Amino acid sequence: MATTTGTPPSPPATGPSVPTAPRRRWWRRPWIAPLAFVTVVFIAFSLPPYLTGDPATSRIPQPEGFPAHYPLLVAHVLFASVAMLTCFFQVWPWFRGRYPVVHRYTGRVYVFAGVLPAGLTGLVIGAGTPFGPVQAASNVMLALLWLGFTAAGYRMARQRRFVEHRRWMLRSFALTFSIITNRIWGVIVFLVLSPQLDTTFQGNETMLSWTVASLGGWLGWTVPLLISQWWLDRGDAAKRRARLRSRPS
Ligand code: HEM
């Protein structure tokens, strides 16, 4: 993840400016190309089954007594894809520095055509998930935090408080991309737990699938959120050390 430390932005004529990242070639930022790759691969893999309009192609079983589940899920997947794509451009330092005006517009698309509708639909289908109450709790927490962090980041940008804007949006970014770590955890947890089907889970496949989904759900977003906080604290500590060093003794 990029930091804004290093090269300070040039002083603005009026009011604070959006902090720009130091100019560095894209290959000096080893996370950009992999992030672009996983974004494209994830969307290319996830989206097509939900473009058919046929509930039979959904990877999520429809919960009983919840007929709106499928249309809400399709809406969620479409808006969430918008959020993920725009989020990639928002966190790409070169793009932000090169096209600051576009950054503002894609930011609005991220908030109003991505996170807001995807988070609200995720909240509703998340509360009624077919994978049990532990997964429902994870979904609801994730949706509320995603909406909350993004709203806080947007508000800070409107108030031109760009340091706080960056902090909230970094947390929002961590949650947007947590959908990918969620899938990775799902595979790991499945590989670890499936040999225990006949022991720990007493042959109950539903219990196994609920446990895999729930552990993948919780680990999927809590770990990236902790890492994003560590990243922010690390930047703060570096700035404090630099201030102390520059103080006259
Ligand atoms: C960060 C907040 C998010 C929340 C709260 C959320 C919530 C949900 C929920 C509740 C489901 C149904 C599964 C279940 O019942 O447990 C789901 C499915 C899905 N979500 Fe999200 N989601 C979020 C972010 C995203 C993002 C950023 C994407 C990126 C495109 C995404 C793509 C999908 C897809 C493709 C499915 C269908 C499952 C599949 O086909 O594998 N979600 N989401």
pLDDT, one tens digit per residue, over 210-249 is 999 999 999 999 999 999 999 999 988 888 888 888 887 6
Residue 57: give the domain boundaries. Answer: 26-180
216 lines ligand 1 (CB under 6 A): no
For residue 211, tell me if it sits in a domain.
no
DSSP labels, 57-76: G-SSPPPTT-TTHHHHHHHH
Contact 172 CB / ligand 1 (< 6 Å): no
Let me know if residue 155 belongs to a domain: yes
Residue 84 domain-assigned? yes
Site to probe by mutation for ligand 1, drawn from 110, 179, 225, 228 as the one with most ligand atoms within 8 Å of Cβ, is: 179
pLDDT of residue 6: 33
Q: What is the pLDDT of residue 26?
A: 58
Whether 5 and 238 have beta carbons less than 8 Å apart is answered as: yes
User: pLDDT in tens for each of the 249 residues of the chain?
Assistant: 333 333 333 333 333 445 555 566 656 677 899 999 999 999 999 999 999 999 999 999 999 999 999 999 999 999 999 999 999 999 999 999 999 999 999 999 999 999 999 999 999 999 999 999 999 999 999 999 999 999 999 999 999 999 999 999 999 999 999 999 999 999 999 999 999 999 999 999 999 999 999 999 999 999 999 999 999 999 888 888 888 888 876
Is 12 inside a domain boundary? no
Ligand 1 centroid to Cα of residue 110, in Å, is 16
Identity at 86, one-letter amino acid code: T
- Closest ligand 1 atom to 176 CA: 27
User: Does residue 32 belong to any structural domain of this protein?
Assistant: yes
Looking at ligand 1, which atom is closest to the CA of residue 58?
40
| 82 Cβ below 6 A of ligand 1 | no
Query: For the whole model, what pTM was predicted?
Result: 0.88
Tell me how far apart the alpha carbons of residues 47 and 112 are, in angstroms, rounded to a whole number: 20
Complete DSSP assignment for 155-175 = HHHHTT-HHHHHHHHHHHHHH
* Ligand 1 atom 30: residue of nearest CA: 81
Q: Does the residue 121 lie in any domain? A: yes
pLDDT at 247 (0 to 100): 81
CA atoms within 13 A on the CB side of 131: 22
pLDDT confidence of residue 12: 36
Asked if residue 81 is part of any domain, the answer here is yes
The structural domain count of the chain equals 1
**Whether residue 78 has its Cβ less than 6 Å from ligand 1:** no
Q: Is 179 in the pocket of ligand 1 (CB under 6 A)?
A: yes
Contacts of 76 (CB under 8 A, 6+ apart): 117, 118, 121, 122, 125
pLDDT confidence of residue 248 = 75
Amino acid at site 35: L
239, 246 contact by CB (below 8 A): no
Find the 77 Cα to ligand 1 centroid distance in Å. 6
Kindly give, in sequence order, each residue whose CB lies less than 8 Å from that of residue 2, ignoring residues fewer than 6 positions away: 21, 29, 91, 93
| pLDDT attached to residue 97 | 92
Q: What is the pLDDT of residue 30?
A: 79
Ligand 1 lined by 157 (C-beta under 6 Å): no
Domain assignment present for 94? yes
- What pLDDT is recorded for position 24? 63
What pLDDT does 10 receive? 36
> What does the block give as tokens for 36?
């672009």
